[in-house]
A and B are shown apart, each in its own frame.
Chain A
Amino acid sequence: AQSVAQPEDQVNVAEGNPLTVKCTYSVSGNPYLFWYVQYPNRGLQFLLKYITGDNLVKGSYGFEAEFNKSQTSFHLKKPSALVSDSALYFCAVRARNSGGYQKVTFGTGTKLQVIP
C-alpha cells in the first residue's frame, strides 16, 4: 500500500523568509510525486511533480521540491515566502495499483501561514 505523510499540520513563516513544507512517502517501485495547493473553498492547483531525472524539481510560483530517495522525502521549498502563498498544501504519490489504475494518494495537508 502507498502512503504519504505530512508531519506538520501548520507551518508559520515570516514574509521574505525561506519556507519548507515536509513530505515523506511510501510506495512500491518508483514513486511519482506531486505537490498541490488549495485555497479556501477551491479545488487543488498543480504546483510541480517528480517523475524521473533531476532530484530538484522547479514548479509554479517559485516553488521547488527536492526528491530524496534514501530518505523517501519530497519536501516543498521556496526561497522567499509571500503572504499570498498562505494556503493548504498537499503532497501526493502515485503508483499503479493492482487494478491498473493510476491511483493517487494524498497527504493530510499542511497549512502554510505567511506572516507579514
Chain B
Amino acid sequence: GAVVSQHPSWVICKSGTSVKIECRSLDFQATTMFWYRQFPKQSLMLMATSNEGSKATYEQGVEKDKFLINHASLTLSTLTVTSAHPEDSSFYICSARDPSGRVVEETQYFGPGTRLLVL
C-alpha cells in the first residue's frame, strides 16, 4: 500500500523559534497532501490542503503566515510553524491521496505524525 513518512517524529523547541515538518510519499507521487492537527482525545482538524506547484488552501481560522506550507515536489510537502508558541504544541499529521487513477475512489494515506512541544 501507499506509504507516507513524516520527519521528525517529535520535536521540542523554544518559544519564538520556527519548526519545519516534512511529509513524504515514499512509493507514489502525491499531487495533493493534507495537513491536520490533532489535540489530545480529539479528532483531526484539517489545517490546509497542499497542492504541488501552487499555493496551499487554508481552512478558515488557520493563519497562513504562521503555518507555512510548501509543496515543491510530487513527493514532498513541508509545514513550517513560524514563531512557535506553547499553544502550537500539538500532534501534526499529514496525509496524501492515493493516486488510484479515479478521483472518486481516492483514499488518503496518513503519515505517522509529528508531536510538537513548544516550551
Contact = CB atoms under 8 A, between A and B. Distances in A.
Contacts, number: 53
Interface in B89-116: 91, 93, 95, 97, 103-113, 115
A58 to B, nearest CB: 15
Q: Is the interface of B mostly helix, strand, loop or mixed?
A: strand
Q: Which bucket holds chain A's interface residue count?
A: 20 to 34
Contacts of A109: 41-43
B112 A42 contact: yes
A56 interface: no
Contacts of B109: 46
Interface centre among B4, B49, B93, B107, by most chain A C-beta atoms within 10 angstroms, is B107
A109 B97 CA distance: 21
B46 A103 contact: yes
Interface centre among A32, A36, A44, A51, by most chain B C-beta atoms within 10 angstroms, is A44
A59 to B, nearest CB: 11
B108 A43 contact: no
A108 interface: yes
B44 interface: yes
A104 B113 contact: no
Contacts of B43: 90, 106-109
Interface centre among A34, A43, A51, A109, by most chain B C-beta atoms within 10 angstroms, is A43
Interface of B: 1, 4, 6, 32, 34, 41-44, 46, 49, 57, 91, 93, 95, 97, 103-113, 115
